Structure 1
Amino acid sequence: MAAKKIELEKIAALTKELFHTHYEGDLDKWFSYLCPDSVYLGTGEPLLFGGDAIREHFKGFTGKEINIIQEEYFPFSFGDSAAQVCGQIVVESLERSFHVINHFTISYRMIGGELKMVHQHNSYEYMQPRESKVLNLDVNTTQFVRSLLLDRPSGCRIPIRSGTQTIFVNPNTVLYVQSQRRKTEFVCIDRVISCNSSIGEIGKELPDLFYPLRRGYLVNPLFIVAIRRFEVELISGICIPVPALTYQQTKQDLQGMIKGK
């Protein structure tokens, strides 16, 4: 990379290395490619200007226990001294409770004979693997659900249009609702229901109890068993990430709702 001309194969390999070491919690190599003009933008994170601001924001990052299950890197040249790498990385937690798709764009430029990263944009899409959505009804989970449903009035059931049929769902049995493009999925205690309506339309029908955890997610706080840095855990080990930018407010809101305030 010391040569004046940026080689596309090498720039793609470098980008891959930077992401891998970043996930492992080793940020020194990434930091070494930042410059005073570097800009960073990521979903749920503040817009950061300058290498010092980026280093300060990420200095406490210790890595994530994840598996990289797919990755693609596409380099583009903008002359001899500038290049860009676009692509996506799909990672999942070791427990396979969720996976994240990171669509990224990174721009590089030769500055004073050294290769520097001048712009990085990460767009995150959080998804629940389908096989993990239905609860593992072990003894503890079964007792939790049973006591919860016995303590709650049955209330009104919501009519959900699913394909060519209408299904009537008790909101007290819904763990969370997630957007699936123009449709919506109800993740219930015993099944997953695909709905023809958008999550915006569904949100108007659900009780106020459901909380907008992040874009495209409405969560039933009754089923939350833990809140930790940047994620909430529901019964049976289901985890849903929380954007870093809204984490503190989300934690405060959920704690109030769970306490019954």
Structure 2
Amino acid sequence: MGEFTGRSALVTGGARGIGASVVAALAKEQIPVVIGDLLEGEGTALAAALGSGAIFRRLDVTDEAGWRAVLDDAEAEFGPLAVLINNAGIVDFGDVESESPAMFRHVVDVNLYGAWLGMHLAAPRLRAAGGGVIVNISSTAGLIGYAGIGAYVASKWGLRGLTKAAALELGRANVRVCSIHPGPVHTPMTAALDESVAANQPLARFGQPEEVAAMVRFLVTEATYSTGSEFVLDGGATAGQVLGLPDDSR
């Protein structure tokens, strides 16, 4: 873990769900981590549970001044930035005809602009420190379309493309940038979804936040020759269409 000795990590949307699991995974790797989120109660409790290697800071990812303050605090507390995990995200269930312009913009602002803003402000710090890792949590909605969540789909496709552009721009500075594309995962954001959503997947279940966190840990600590790539955790949902062949349980 020499690459991260005396350096810090920041996880947005880190107070619960996938973000909280990522925070715990990084802390287990002895990477000091800042939990950035609007959920002060949950974020503070998580930091307290993890001990001296984690702190909570309130962060609205659409607020430039807020980003600057949290990045400053991360580096003051734990040392130069090494890892940025752009995980904060929201979803709105509305189709192209019915969704309001304000809500469409809000979803894109949080999911895409917020991640861009973090990368924009973190990249010079990573460059100055000699390199680092950015992982953007996209979605299978950044690989295929879904009806009824157009703003979310647009934001996650955009995040996938932004990841590739940043990887091309930052690679010579030893900054790796990758995206992760989970399918349905048990989190507060998916609590309203029925389990049948995953019924036709080859692995017919929802994922767990810890499974996404394991991929983040791999990308941060082991996948040292990967940049600009997307990593899919979806139970095989995007592999192709299931034709209803007989189940072979042998």
TM-score by length of 1: 0.22
Higher alpha-carbon Rg: 1
Q: Which has the higher strand share?
A: 1
Q: TM-score, normalised by structure 2?
A: 0.23
Q: Which has the higher relative contact order, 1 or 2, with Cα contacts under 8 A spaced 6 or more apart?
A: 2
